[in-house]
Amino acid sequence: MSEFNVGFVIFPAINQLDFTGPFEVLSRLTTPASLTVPAKFTQSKTHIVAKNMLPVLSDRGLGIMPPAHSRIVRRSI
């Protein structure tokens, strides 16, 4: 199957569950459902997009730190 890319944009006042819930599910696309069934998206990649490398505060004040390999966007999102 072809490559499958998933991107998550994190921004100030994001609801943490709106980001981490789908991230947890979609980041596991390369994981097979069982040992006998191959994964359907073996080439999938999950990306986090942020304006910079500073912590992003959620709507409740939780700091979400972009990982070192995040995509940085230098313009307004």
- Mean pLDDT (whole number) for 50-58: 92
| Number of structural domains in the chain | 1
Structural domain contains residue 21: yes
3-state secondary structure 15-39: CHHHHHHHHHHHCCCCCCCCCCCCC
Domain that holds residue 17: 5-72
State pLDDT tens for residues 7-28.
Answer: 999 999 999 999 999 999 999 8
Q: Please, which residues have CB within 8 angstroms of residue 69's CB and are 6 or more apart in sequence?
A: none
| Backbone CA torsion sign across 21, 48, 70, 15 | negative
State pLDDT tens for residues 25-46.
Answer: 999 888 888 888 888 888 888 8
Single pTM value for the model? 0.76
The 5-9 sheet, strands edge to edge: 5-9, 45-50, 71-72
